[in-house]
Amino acid sequence: MDFLETILVGELLKKMRIISGKFRNKKLHFPKNTKTRPLKDSVRENIFNILEHSSDVSFQIKNSFIIDLYAGTGSFGLECLSRESSHVSFVEKDSDALINLKKNIKNLNIENKSTVYSEDILKFFKGSIFKKKIDLIFLDPPYKNEGYIEVVKIIKKKDILKKKHILLLHREKGDGHNIPEGLSVIENRIYGRSEIFFLRLL
């Protein structure tokens, strides 16, 4: 991350907030360092507009069960809870991100609707027992990290998704050739450097 990008990310973090729902406009805490790449408010807003209004995606956030992988400080999962999802599991191993994620959860008083797993994602899937099928999994790995390909294989093998599920993948623009096999691309959108894929297991 170059000097200018570091400044821009720092300014972005000052403005991060919940966009809609019962926690609308609540500010979110983020680490002062720039290791955690934030998902811009505008990108998040567009993702939720597609989830809620696209006839191809056709997803119901209310009462849904979500897993937020590479969660950072939880902006995506917290937005889901603001829009009345039933439960979000956050998976993140960076200590600075975890401090702020837990602070955000406490400030919103949603400990009873969220679970934080401070461990490696592969370890999380191998060690977890899922009592309910999952509606949506959000994968937001670092741009240079392709470990998510193995994660998708494990998700498919464990059979934890509901029939009408969505896998959301955030990658750098132009990285679509690395979409794992066995996934159908329902929609994809580009926002600056970000490309968002709405996927479903075949």
Q: Give the Å distances, CA to CA, from 182 to 122, 156, 189.
A: 19, 9, 20
Residue 6 binned pLDDT confidence (cut-offs 50, 70, 90): very low
Mean pLDDT value of segment 3-11: 44
Looking at the structure of the chain, the number of domains it has is 1
DSSP β-ladder status, 87-91 and 134-139: unpaired
The domain of 57 spans: 3-201
Flag whether pLDDT at 190 surpasses 60.
yes
CA distance 91 to 124: 8
Q: In Å, how far are 11, 97, 117, 125, 183 from 122, measured between CA atoms? A: 33, 18, 12, 5, 19
State residue 35's pLDDT score: 63
- The pTM assigned to this predicted structure is 0.90
pLDDT digits (tens, 9 = 90+) for 111-169: 999 999 999 999 999 888 888 999 999 999 988 888 888 999 999 999 999 999 999 99
| Cβ proximity of 186 and 157 under 8 Å | no
| Angstrom distance (rounded) from CA 157 to CA 42 | 34
| Amino acid (1-letter code) at residue 190 | I
**Dist CA 155 CA 149 (whole Å):** 10
Q: What average pLDDT score do residues 33-60 get?
A: 86
Q: What's the CATH number where 179 sits?
A: 3.40.50.150
pLDDT value of residue 173: 87
Kindly report the CA angle at 149 between 140 and 79, in degrees rounded to 5? 20
| pLDDT tens digits for range 27-39 | 998 887 656 667 8
